[in-house]
Amino acid sequence: MDVPPEIRQARAARHQLAQAALVDETVNEALKAVAFGLAHPLTLTDPALLDRALAVNRRAGEPS
């Protein structure tokens, strides 16, 4: 069964955020805010946050 592109993209973004949250306080705080119901999940789609996660993961050696 083929996974729709938007689902693959959402999963990839979630993976990037989860990995970056291990080493970056800003990404970690954003994820915690959503997990604790203090922020809407769509806040995790902020391009600046995703760019930050990608940059953190590149520095840490995580493939993007």
Asked whether residue 21 is assigned to any structural domain, the reply reads: no
Q: What is the pTM of this model?
A: 0.85
Query: b/e per residue, 2-37, with b = 16+ CB within 10 A?
Result: eeeeeeeeeeebeebbebbbeebeebeebbeebeee
- 18 belongs to a structural domain: no
Look at residue 19 and tell me if it is in a domain. Answer: no
**Residue 39: domain span:** 27-64
Per-residue model confidence as pLDDT tens digits over 6-51:
999 999 999 999 999 999 999 999 999 999 999 999 999 999 999 9
Q: How many domains does the chain have?
A: 1
Position 5 in a domain: no
Confirm whether 4 is domain-assigned.
Answer: no
Asked if residue 7 is part of any domain, the answer here is: no
